[in-house]
């Protein structure tokens, strides 16, 4: 492409299997082989070939890193430094003087929902059961968002901020066609609930519906929309990236341009509808130092 301008096809995101692993950005296989004593499941991104290798059983496995790649539609990186006013009598001229402190670096990722076989998920496997009663649904979602705790201090590496998480707020919305042979779902009462987005992809726990909107149109289906929150712990198997986990993370924003550091997934939202593909959105934040490389 002229002038080195980039299209989006070469954007990737990779997450290591554990916090003890590392992700190295290297020029080629020769540079990869010079990495000193890599640990089992360490990863190397080869800029010259735009691929990922993994280290397994004391040997590099070409393209082995594909197991750690996250497929997505969009990945938006934001980077913003906090700014403080340092104007004093030594500041020249009549303008103010500021200094930058630390940066918050985050990624917003939107992906098509996939099952364990990495197949795109449609609505054919949708199911909703509340208080042992199954209901047909037109759409539903599940959101999980952790409270952030700023733990940045003098031990935080690099020029970035550092975040831990506390507890999660978990909410869901369902939409169904009004049924005259079933009572409305009872509001303000938590009951055992299972939401199935696809075979093997479920959320189970105690869900409390807290609001109801009943939409009546003379020439259309009568729809009921319920919003509610999950109480305490849930068991869920949705999405490829686990929230509340700090793992080595690499974003390749264009071929060879990379952002490499430890990052935590703060939230995710999974949604599906009877006439649309399933989607999953993640919010990710880098902790501490980030290593950047250019295309050179």
238 Cβ partners below 8 Å, 6+ apart? 113, 142, 197, 201, 202, 203, 268, 270, 280
Mean pLDDT of the 190-199 span = 95
186 Cβ partners below 8 Å, 6+ apart? 131, 209
User: In this predicted model, what pLDDT tens digit does every residue of 69-87 receive, in sequence order?
Assistant: 888 889 999 999 999 999 9
- The whole-number pLDDT of residue 119 equals 67
Global pTM? 0.90
User: In this predicted model, what pLDDT tens digit does every residue of 102-150 receive, in sequence order?
Assistant: 999 999 999 988 877 666 777 678 999 999 999 999 999 999 999 999 9
């Amino acid at each position: 492409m002229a002038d080195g301008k980039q299209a989006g096809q070469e954007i990737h995101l990779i997450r290591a299997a554990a916090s003890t692993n590392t992700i190295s950005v290297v020029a080629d296989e020769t540079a990869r082989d010079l990495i000193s004593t890599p640990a089992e499941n360490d990863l190397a991104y080869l800029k010259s070939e735009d691929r990922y290798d993994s280290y397994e059983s004391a040997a590099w496995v070409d393209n082995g890193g594909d197991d750690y790649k996250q497929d997505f539609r969009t990945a938006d990186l934001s980077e913003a430094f906090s700014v403080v006013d340092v104007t004093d009598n030594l500041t020249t001229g009549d303008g103010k003087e500021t200094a930058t402190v630390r940066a918050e670096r985050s990624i917003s990722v939107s992906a098509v929902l996939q099952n364990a076989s990495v197949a795109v998920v449609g609505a054919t496997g949708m199911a909703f059961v509340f208080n042992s009663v199954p209901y047909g649904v037109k759409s539903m979602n599940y959101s999980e968002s952790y409270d952030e705790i700023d733990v940045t201090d003098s031990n935080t590496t690099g020029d970035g901020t550092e975040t831990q998480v506390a507890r999660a707020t978990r909410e869901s919305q369902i939409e169904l066609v009004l049924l005259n042979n079933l009572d409305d779902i009872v509001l303000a009462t938590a009951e055992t609930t299972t939401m199935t987005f696809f075979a093997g992809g479920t959320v189970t726990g105690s869900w409390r519906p807290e609001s109801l909107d009943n939409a009546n149109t003379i020439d259309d289906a009568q729809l009921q929309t319920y919003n509610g929150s999950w109480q305490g712990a849930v068991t869920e198997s949705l999405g490829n990236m686990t929230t509340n986990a700090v793992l080595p993370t690499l974003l390749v924003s264009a071929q060879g341009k990379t952002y490499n550091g430890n990052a935590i997934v703060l939230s995710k939202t999974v949604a599906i509808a009877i006439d649309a593909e399933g989607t999953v959105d993640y919010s990710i934040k880098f902790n501490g130092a980030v290593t950047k490389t250019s295309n050179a």
